[in-house]
Amino acid sequence: MAKKEGYVVPKKELNMFAMGAMGQGMIYAMMSSYISDYYVNVLQLPLAFVLILMLGARIWDAINDPLMGMIADRREPTKRGKMKKYIVYASPVIAIMTLLIYYAPNASKTTLMIYAAVTYIVWGMSYTMADVPFWCLPNLMTHRADERGYVISYTKNLNGIGSALPEVLFLVAGFTLPALLGTTGIEYEKQRYFIIAAVTVAIGIVMYLNSYRYINERVIPPVKKRQPGEPSQLKRIFTCKPLMLVVAMGVLSSGRYMIQAAAIHVARYAFYIGPTLTPDMTLEERTKYISESVSSVKTIFQVCAIVGMFGAMLLMPKLMSKFDYKKIVITTCLAGFVSSIFTTIIGWFTANLYICIPFILVSCIPLGVLNVVSNAMIGDCLDYLELKTGYRDNGLGSACQGFVNKLGNALATSGIILMYMFIDIDPSMMLSNEVVVAATELTRIQNFGMFSLVSVVPGVSLLLCSIPMFFYKISGKEKQKIVEELAAKREKQAKEKIEA
């Protein structure tokens, strides 16, 4: 998409901001796509504990994310900017905590649980410190709603590419590390995860930190003190109906995260691709073949995500310039739902992963659409809020999106844990230093139960998330009216300020 006349963000600044988002995507994908497998199958923490940890951390985020948004909104701009300075503050902590999370100390189960809880919660808090302000920046880099949409779409593309890079490392590791490390079973898994995390952090944090130098915050709303009788910051947000509909859409679409978060579990327990496993094979051979199979199946899902999700994200700038955001969401989510029905039927009757590929691919398209459109819609909601109240709570608006993303991943992880319980899979019996179990050695019901996490659950979620959009009104002529009235209001305020 060519840069339009009147756009104010230079190409270099846009690229560096997008590269920062790419680095952030790497770090977040390392957590969202693999943390459940690491806790369940590698550290082999009790399933009930992992479930409580995921949900408990999100309850804390319900407080932590809005709190960070309010702090960011209320702070006066400094020489380092109003929002971008948090990139510098939080990045070192994020890097250290990511490495600590994937470091497996030799300790008792109780100590491991305490260690996991502390590192996971601290990681979440430090990530929030950077994430909430970072995604406020498109609102501060330009005053134009159409350019803001372009910045978000372009940046989300790079963010999505970054989230795929740990998947590439996982694939390469599956084929190279068994021979290089010389370990088997659970010890091999511990070493593999730490190596992937270390490489991800080394690349991702450098890219993320580098973006700080190039970002220019051009639109800094003045810190407006609340007058007696005016609604509080939280009340303004929670009574903004369009914004709450976007949040509802995000919460109801939580099942879409399963396609990525549950893929590693599906690779372990739903499908096996490789030579027939025989009783006379050594543990080293079983480790090698099963590791290769897990990497291959995971890669199939990743390719589907790249083609479907990232393909949609690449088309989003053009689609967003031609169609209403709500129409894009409704159309693609319903298409994803229909596709998931075919995926489920094929998976049940044939158990053939290859036949499912085209339908999984289509189901991934709404992932890319929602990743981009939800941020752009929040920007439109903040325009509406500023027009109606005079306040523009960028930080709190971004916190809503951050909380929805983390809640979605937590619900996805919780769903995975509940499925382990429901189909009676005991991770400690599947993977240890003495045994490595392949998907072919489980029952058909266990295979399909795990597969349903990437077929049934995302499909139902996509259907549900389209419902709030039928009530969303900031589109078409109504959106254009808001943009024009807000521009006139800002121009009037600027003149009054000069005259004063």
pLDDT digits (tens, 9 = 90+) for 63-91: 788 788 888 777 777 777 788 888 888 99
Mean pLDDT of 474-493: 85
Assigned token pair, 364: 């991934």
- 183 bridge partner residues: none
Is domain 11-216+231-499 given the CATH code 2.40.50.100 in the classification? no
Assigned token pair, 103: 């470091």
Angle 211-217-220 from CA coordinates, rounded to 5°: 150
Query: How far is Cα 392 from Cα 71, in angstroms, rounded to an integer?
Result: 14
Position 224 scores a pLDDT of: 60
pLDDT at 252 over 90: yes
Q: Where are the domains of the chain?
A: 11-216+231-499
Q: Which residues of 143-174 are buried (b: 16+ CB within 10 A; e: fewer)?
A: ebbebbbbbbbbbbbbbbbbbbbbbebbbebb
How confident is residue 53, by pLDDT bands cut at 50, 70 and 90? very high
**In 3D, which of 146, 144, 148 has the Cα closest to residue 136?**
148
At position 45, the amino acid (one-letter code) is: L
Mean pLDDT of the residues in the chain: 87
Q: What is the dihedral of CA 469, 472, 476, 481, to 10 degrees?
A: -160
Position 51 scores a pLDDT of: 92
Neighbours of 187 (CB within 10 A): 16
pLDDT at 1 over 60: no
Position 2 scores a pLDDT of: 47
pLDDT at 223 over 70: no
**First-to-final CA distance of the chain:** 42
Angle 224-9-244 from CA coordinates, rounded to 5°: 50
Question: CA of 237: how far to CAs of 143, 386, 434, 485, in Å?
Answer: 21, 11, 54, 20
**What pLDDT digit, counting tens, does each position of 345-359 carry?**
999 998 889 999 999
pLDDT at 222 over 70: no
What is the percentage of the chain residues whose pLDDT exceeds 70? 95
More confident residue, 398 or 190: 190
Angle separating helix axes 456-465 and 241-252, nearest 10 degrees:
170
Angle 123-128-129 from CA coordinates, rounded to 5°: 100
More confident residue, 232 or 263: 263
At position 328, the amino acid (one-letter code) is: I
**What pLDDT digit, counting tens, does each position of 391-448 carry?**
888 778 878 877 888 888 788 888 999 999 999 998 888 877 677 888 888 999 999 9
At position 86, the amino acid (one-letter code) is: Y
Position 462 scores a pLDDT of: 95
More confident residue, 436 or 360: 360
Mean pLDDT of 299-307: 86
Mean pLDDT of 140-166: 85
Query: How far is Cα 236 from Cα 391, in angstroms, rounded to an integer?
Result: 9
> Where are the extended beta strands (E) located within 298-348?
none
**What pLDDT digit, counting tens, does each position of 362-394 carry?**
999 998 899 888 888 988 898 898 888 888 887
Query: How far is Cα 255 from Cα 13, in angstroms, rounded to an integer?
Result: 34
More confident residue, 495 or 56: 56
pLDDT at 495 over 80: no
How is 104-145 classified by DSSP, letter by letter?
A: --S--HHHHHHHHHHHHHHHHHHHHHHHHHHTTHHHHH-S-H
pLDDT at 221 over 80: no
Question: CA of 85: how far to CAs of 23, 80, 259, 400, in Å?
Answer: 17, 5, 34, 20
**In 3D, which of 427, 355, 376 has the Cα closest to residue 152?**
376
